[in-house]
Amino acid sequence: MPLYGYRGIERASGKTVKGEVDAENSRMARIRLKKQGIYITEMEERTPETKQTRSTVGKIFKRIKIQDLSILTTQLATLEKANIPLVEGLNALCNQLENEKLRLIISDVRDRVNEGSSLGDALAVYPKVFSNLYINMVRAGETSGTLPLVFKRLSEFLDYQVKLRSKIIGALTYPIIMMVVGSGLIGFLFIAIVPKLVGVFADIGQELPLVTKFVIGVSNFLQGYWYLILIFIGLTIFLIRRWKRTEKGRFKWDTLMLKLPLAGRMTRMINISRFTRTLSTLLGGGVPLLVSMDIVKNVVQNRVIFKAIAEARESITEGQSIAKPLITSNQFPPMVTHMIAIGEKTGELEHMLVVVADAYDVQVETRISQMTSLLEPLMIIIMGGVVALIVVAMILPILQLQLT
């Protein structure tokens, strides 16, 4: 059933009102609102593609976030568990969702299901909102009659993704703020403070120490050519991003990321955790192994590990186990491949994958805490060192003058 947005005036109070109403067509929508005592001044049919707002800020806050999808999935799991008919449940969600764009999409999904489409096919119309994993699990749940269980597993999976993202953002927020504030403070010293002291040294009429010349040179460069630094940073970021868009560049970049001293191990752990948890979720939802492997490789962001999983899938089609090609790739730690091999032999693959994911999640959290603990004193030392350099550079000429 189409959804119409309207603006109008309440006949009783004379106040301007706006909202949305479900109706078979615009005429029925006007009749329905007229019965509610609303005089319509403007009406349009809402679709998921309807432009939410013309402002940039509006576009940012109207996008569908993973938190919105997590809440939606939790509500679907609750409705399915209560044995509420699917169309009725989707209709109830249309009245509850706060995100306007998501509400419009669910309204369209409801209409498609009501017209005879399966829920998986209706969700597949919006691949930018519902991932391949999400759609295939829903289709598997519909086929096997385990849709409530599928929504429960998807809800748990999305909740985990939200929590992990929140932890990473929370851990990096303070160091980033320190870096920005520290850079601003150092820039202020070089641009505003150092030039005032240079005039004093000009009247001394003697050779300045090397460190003082260096600080004055940096100060002069920042004053006269600060825009070149911004251009250089912007150009570097642009070129790196353009290079990363190529398959060869992305592969080399991801290879480098895995070799970094501190971040490399954490990158590997995050990708392996995502691989094992997603594969467990898919298998638990009734998705066949080969289809699951095809989906899960797209969930992994690192192209090196992506390639290893893709090659493992091809080996599985030839009759090999999952563990063997993963061992051959040399991208998965022995503990991971050993647990997967045990899971295959005992028929507890899904459980073993969850064990691996949980273990790596704990390690990721520990690693994030360690990196944060290291970053804070490191930035303090760097900022303190720069400030000390400036102070020494300014004091040395004065000391030289007193000694001569």
For the chain, give every domain's residue range.
3-46, 63-159, 173-404
The residue to which tokens 């000390």 are assigned: 388
Q: Are 323 and 293 in contact (CB under 8 A)?
A: no
Q: Are 280 and 354 in contact (CB under 8 A)?
A: yes
Predicted confidence (pLDDT) at residue 193 exceeds the cutoff of 70 = yes
Q: Which SS3 state, helix, strand or coil, does residue 16 take?
A: strand
Task: Give the Cα separation of 57 and 243 in Å (integer).
Answer: 30
Full DSSP string of 31-66: HHHHHTTEEEEEEEEE-TTS---SSHHHHHHHSPPH
Neighbours of 389 (CB within 10 A): 16
Fold classification of 63-159 is Receptor-associated Protein (1.20.81)
> Could you read off the pLDDT of 204-248 as tens digits, one per residue?
666 778 888 888 888 888 888 888 888 999 999 999 999 988 989
Percentage of the residues of the chain whose pLDDT score is greater than 90: 4
Q: Are 58 and 52 in contact (CB under 8 A)?
A: yes
CB-based contacts of 399, cutoff 8 Å, min separation 6: none
Fold classification of 173-404 is Receptor-associated Protein (1.20.81)
To which H or E segment does residue 7 belong?
Answer: strand 3-10
Task: Give the Cα separation of 399 and 225 in Å (integer).
Answer: 31
**Is pLDDT larger for residue 287 or for residue 122?**
122
- Average pLDDT of the chain is 81
Task: Give the Cα separation of 72 and 81 in Å (integer).
Answer: 14
The residue to which tokens 């929508």 are assigned: 29
Pick from 100, 97, 99, 117: nearest CA to 109: 117
Residue 59 Cα distances to 55, 94, 101, 138, 302, angstroms: 7, 21, 11, 29, 29
Q: Are 334 and 233 in contact (CB under 8 A)?
A: no
Task: Give the Cα separation of 205 and 195 in Å (integer).
Answer: 17
For the chain, counts of helices (H) and of strands (E): 17, 3
Task: Give the Cα separation of 215 and 386 in Å (integer).
Answer: 10
Looking at residues 350-360, what average pLDDT do you find? 88
> Could you read off the pLDDT of 9-22 as tens digits, one per residue?
777 776 777 777 76
**DSSP label at residue 192:** I
Give 55's pLDDT tier (boundaries 50, 70, 90).
very low
